[in-house]
Amino acid sequence: MLTAEEIREIEGEAVHYPRRDAVSIDALKIVQRHRGWVSDESLRDIAGHLGMSPAELDGIATFYNLIYRKPVGRHVITVCDSVSCWIMGSERVQQHLEERLGIRPGETTRDNRYTLLPTVCLGCCDRAPAMMVDSDLHTNLAPENIDRDLENYK
């Protein structure tokens, strides 16, 4: 069941569009913000609320990389692997994170603290290599400052 707060937020966005199902992506993001990810049950509830079929909504949910259809950790680390960051050493950043966290891209640490995902260009190529942790951007990455940055995410 969607919470009253989730419904309120979804309806707040829905008024921006002339068609009700146009709010589907906003709705997925809203529910994910509250619950961390979009479970099958959440998906069915959102679809029901918008008058869509769950299959149609799942087709949309699985298209977009910022919608998580599997549980993620408390913090999501997305590492840019596009060309400017690659030139500036993103492979070393990636390797350092994998070794330090003991996980591969797409996985979550055992303590449920971090999920590691690749991402496309984050639009800060003059400060490469870059990553995001949740909604925060971290730039000019090197193994030393990565460790320090990550400490702030408990």
Partner 1 sequence: MIRQIEKPLTGSMPADGSWLDLPAYEKVGGYQAIRKALNGGMTPKAVVAEVKNADLRGRGGAGFPTGLKWSFVPVGKDAPNPTYLCVNADEMEPGTFKDRFLMERNPHQLIEGAILAGFAIEADVAYIFLRGEYTLAAERLTRAIAEAYQRGYLGKNLLGSGYSLELYLHLSAGRYICGDETGLLNALEGKRANPRAKPPFPVVVGLFGKPTVVNNVETISCVPHIINNGAAWFQGLSRTRDAGTKLYGVSGKVKRPGLWELPMGTSIREIVFEHAGGMRDGLRFRGLLPGGSSTPFVVEDHLDTPMDFTEMPKVGSRLGTGTMIVLDDRTCPVGMAWNMTRFFARESCGFCTPCWSGLGWAERILRSLEDGHGKPGDLEKLSFQSKMWSPGNTFCALAPGAADPLQSAMKYFGPDFERHIGEHRCPWR
Which residues of this chain interact with partner 1, rule CB under 8 A?
Answer: 16-19, 21-26, 28-29, 59-60, 63-67, 78, 81-84, 86-88, 119-128, 132, 135-137
Least distance (Å) from partner 1 to the CB of residue 142?
15
| Shortest distance (Å) from residue 150 CB to partner 1 | 18
DSSP letter at 108?
A: B
CA distances from 150 to 19, 62, 116, 128, 129 (A): 42, 28, 12, 17, 15
The smaller minimum CB distance to partner 1, of residues 84 and 108, is found at 84
Q: Compare residues 44 and 105 and give the one whose CB is closer to partner 1.
A: 105
Minimal distance, residue 110 CB to partner 1, in Å: 27
Q: How far is the CB of 146 from partner 1 (least distance, A)?
A: 18
CA dihedral 25, 28, 33, 35 (to 10 degrees): -170
- Beta strands (DSSP E) in the chain are 75-80, 114-119, 131-133, 136-138
Q: Which is nearer to partner 1, 17 or 110 (CB)?
A: 17
Nearer to partner 1, 57 or 150 (CB): 57
Minimal CA–CA distance to 116: which of 146, 85, 89? 146
- Tokens at residue 23, please? 């709010």
Nearest to 113 by CA among 70, 75, 77: 75
Shortest Å distance, C-beta 136 to partner 1: 8
Give 53 or 65: the residue with its C-beta nearer to partner 1.
Answer: 65
